[in-house]
Amino acid sequence: PTSSMADHHEHNHHCNHGHGHGSGGDGHDHSKCKDESIGELYSLWKYIDTDNVTCMNELEPGSVKGIFKTWDKRLDRTKFVESDCDEELIINIPFTGMVKLQSFCIIGGPEGSSPSKVKLFVNQEGLDFDTAQDGIPAQEFDLPQNLEGEIEIPVKSHTWGDVNNISFYICGNWGAERTLVSYLGLKGSFMQVQRRAVVANYEVSPVPDKNKLGELSGQSSIF
């Protein structure tokens, strides 16, 4: 990596690798998700605004977009994102509408390159390392190694109700120099935004000749 990237990143990590789960509330309550039918629930990838997904400290620019896949392709490791100058990544995920997040599943790489710690931020577009390190996340989790995509991580439902952007700050792995992620699945529901628009159509209607005047009448419809 270039020195400018390293200087900007500062390698000043404030990520606590202790196993206290008070802030995250996840404890070790990680659910097994071998049942293939669960894939129907991991459908939020359809509502990700993929063109505007960003990743900080990725080795190959734009590679992060390849980790959002259908459930049945979660073990396809041909597309992945890998960190550059150290083990940290920030993945900013915008949606095309409001979603409600229930849980997530993240598949990492072998030989210690899987994420071990992640902090989640809600509705903070453009999150960077300075903000992520100093800010208070909505939740944070100690992650197990999940190479086969069998473990899902539940989130606090009251925190993740009206979400239009999720940021994953991966701030640690299992000992490798770089972090690798080949799948990031999000389970939840999409809430279609109902927009009400008033469309008014105006026309000039003639009135009896004796008035010699035009009258403006309006009609409106609400969709």
Residue 35 has pLDDT above 90, yes or no: no
For residue 63, what pLDDT band results from cuts at 50, 70 and 90? very high
- Rounded to an integer, the average pLDDT of 105-109 is 98
Q: What is the mean pLDDT of the chain?
A: 80
- Rounded to an integer, the average pLDDT of 91-108 is 97
Q: Which burial class, exposed, middle or buried, applies to 7 when counting CB atoms under 10 A from its CB (0-12, 13-18, 19+)?
A: exposed
Residue 25 has pLDDT above 60, yes or no: no
Q: What is the pLDDT of residue 212?
A: 46
Beta-carbon count within 10 A of 169 CB: 25
Residue 39 carries which DSSP code? Answer: G
Of the candidates 57, 63, 62, which has an alpha carbon nearest to the alpha carbon of residue 88? 57
- Rounded to an integer, the average pLDDT of 74-98 is 97
Strands (E) located in the chain: 31-32, 54-56, 81-82, 89-108, 115-122, 139-142, 151-154, 163-173, 180-191, 198-206, 214-222
Q: What is the pLDDT of residue 176?
A: 98
Q: What is the pLDDT of residue 16?
A: 43
- Rounded to an integer, the average pLDDT of 174-179 is 98
Using the structure block, give the residue that is written with the tokens 């994102």: 81
Q: Model pTM?
A: 0.74
Residue 126 has pLDDT above 70, yes or no: yes
Give percent above pLDDT 90 in the chain. 63
For residue 19, what pLDDT band results from cuts at 50, 70 and 90? very low
